[in-house]
Amino acid sequence: MMALSAVFRRNGNYLTVWLDYDTGEALIREEERLPDRKIAPALIGETTPYIRIPPGSNAVPLTFGPAAGGLGQAGAFEILTYGERIVSIRPVYGYKKRGIEERLINRPLEETIAVLERAVGNFALAYTYAFLRAVEANPDEDVWEVRKGLLEIERLYNHFNVIHKLAGDASQKVATMHFHWLEEETLRILNRLTGHRYGFGANVPGGVRILDGRAVERLGKLKEEFRELREELLESKIFIDRLHNTCRLSKEDVIELDAVGIASRGSGVPRDVRAFDRFYSYKPVTCEDGDALARLMVRMEEIERSFEIIEGIDFRALKSDPEVKEGLNLGLAEAPHGDVLTLVELRDGRVSWIGLRGASRINYVAFCRGITGNIFTDFPFGLHSFGLNFADADLWQGGEE
């Protein structure tokens, strides 16, 4: 079944990307009208259709953000409420719009990557992975093996970040600090490995820049620490109770909203780009329950998988001389929160047009579906379980708006 993965405005029409997550088949279409899919308005930045005022309702509107301590970035939610329960909610995009796509046009590829990886810093390696998948015509297997390893290290520190936030929401102070420590140690390893805490400059056209491949040896110790901390955290009935049945997203919701990544896999829908990425051999981790606890358990298992993948990789600096793909091409990567998509048109080796779609653009709508009917104290647990950010949602899609 094809999911609507992205919509871009171009030449007065809509350029749509449809993706079959079972086979990896992708279709790119030019359409005069916006597709009749529930997620389509959000894909062009319009979220007004997602808030519903029940007939005869006395609910009042509340805007949470754009400057609010619980959001972490400039972004907002419009909420309808009677006072404690969330009646309806929508994300408000645009506060982190920075014109990233325009800045990528007509640059040499190395400069393009330098700008792109700064668009969403904590997903930098995923975005550059997707971009290079779109533009390199004859990829070097050894280079992509190392890029895959870097992507899994990025997944590790982002998953640790989500767990430490969830523990903090439940006032599990010891677990909060320990998982924050795991995140920080992973960032330090990445810094030793690449020269930057977020891996900026590691993925380059035709190659990968590695400074100290021995840095990953430290991950063996972190794996042991993680396993101990995981068991201790999951023994906390208070913690489990706060996540269980919170922000539940059904399998039908996932399919209706074309949700991706952790949001889909936590509801039993195995959408994971790694399942059909030629450089992976990967079976997606899923959990059927669809709540914040299910999404946590998916992350826990994915951390184990990431450690296994990284252990089999020889991290070293490599350089090849690949041809570039002229014309319009698609690149995908499974970022920690869900897949990121780059649709790139090259002319004479430079970007003439580009469209970017982060998983947050889709999954904020899925979060809003899940948190509807919950109470305000459930909000941080639901939000953090998705692992989203507004910078990722506000990569407005190429060309006219």
User: For the segment 207-240, what is each residue's pLDDT rounded down to a tens digit?
Assistant: 999 999 999 999 999 999 999 999 999 999 999 9
Strands 339-347 and 76-81: unpaired
- CA neighbor of 240 nearest in space, from 303, 289, 286, 305: 289
Determine the Cα–Cα distance for residues 150 and 113; give it in Å rounded to an integer: 16
Output 70 or 111, whichever has higher pLDDT.
111
Contacts by 299-306, CB closer than 8 A, 24 or more apart = 299/159, 299/162, 299/163, 299/262, 299/387, 300/163, 300/230, 302/155, 302/159, 303/155, 303/156, 303/159, 303/160, 303/226, 306/152, 306/153, 306/155, 306/156, 306/159
Identify whether 398 is part of a domain.
Answer: no
Determine the Cα–Cα distance for residues 324 and 135; give it in Å rounded to an integer: 5
- Asked if residue 401 has pLDDT above 60, the reply is no
Which CATH number do you get for residue 147?
1.10.645.10
Q: Do 343 and 19 form a contact (C-beta atoms < 8 A)?
A: no
pLDDT band at 399 (very low <50, low <70, confident <90, very high): very low
Determine the Cα–Cα distance for residues 180 and 216; give it in Å rounded to an integer: 19
Apex 315 CA angle, 314 and 320, nearest 5: 100
Between the alpha carbon of residue 25 and those of residues 219, 251, 379, the distances in Å are: 35, 22, 36
The full length of the chain comes to 401
Least confident of 76-85, 160-169, 358-367: 76-85
> pLDDT of 290-319, one tens digit each?
999 999 999 999 999 999 999 999 999 999
Least confident of 191-195, 276-280, 396-400: 396-400
Number of structural domains found in the chain: 1
Output 38 or 53, whichever has higher pLDDT.
38
pLDDT band at 397 (very low <50, low <70, confident <90, very high): low
pLDDT at position 360:
97
pLDDT at position 72:
82
Q: Do 383 and 70 form a contact (C-beta atoms < 8 A)?
A: yes
- CA neighbor of 249 nearest in space, from 202, 208, 193, 292: 292
Helix or strand (DSSP H, E) at 156: helix 141-169
Find the radius of gyration of the CA atoms of the chain: 20
pTM over 0.75: yes
pLDDT at position 98:
85
Identify whether 240 is part of a domain.
Answer: yes
Determine the Cα–Cα distance for residues 13 and 44; give it in Å rounded to an integer: 12
pLDDT at position 89:
96
- CA neighbor of 316 nearest in space, from 205, 213, 206: 213
pLDDT band at 351 (very low <50, low <70, confident <90, very high): very high
**Averaged over 350-356, what is the pLDDT?**
94
Neighbours of 325 (CB within 10 A): 17
Average pLDDT, the chain: 94
Output 320 or 153, whichever has higher pLDDT.
153
Q: In the chain, count of helices (H) and strands (E)?
A: 14, 12
Identify whether 63 is part of a domain.
Answer: no
Helix or strand (DSSP H, E) at 319: strand 318-319
Apex 31 CA angle, 30 and 32, nearest 5: 135
Least confident of 57-66, 147-156, 202-211: 57-66
To the nearest 5 percent, what fractions of the chain are helix, strand and coil? 45, 20, 35
Identify whether 173 is part of a domain.
Answer: yes
Q: Do 15 and 5 form a contact (C-beta atoms < 8 A)?
A: no
Identify whether 380 is part of a domain.
Answer: yes
pLDDT at position 125:
98
Neighbours of 227 (CB within 10 A): 14
What's the one-letter identity of residue 315? F
pLDDT at position 398:
41
Which two tokens mark 378? 């459930």
Residue 263 backbone phi and psi in degrees, to 5: -60, -40
Helix or strand (DSSP H, E) at 8: strand 2-10
pLDDT band at 396 (very low <50, low <70, confident <90, very high): low
> pLDDT of 7-34, one tens digit each?
999 988 999 999 999 999 999 999 999 9
H helices within 235-378, ranges in order? 237-243, 251-257, 261-265, 292-311, 359-371
Determine the Cα–Cα distance for residues 358 and 93; give it in Å rounded to an integer: 13
Determine the Cα–Cα distance for residues 201 and 380; give it in Å rounded to an integer: 33
Owning domain of residue 373:
100-389
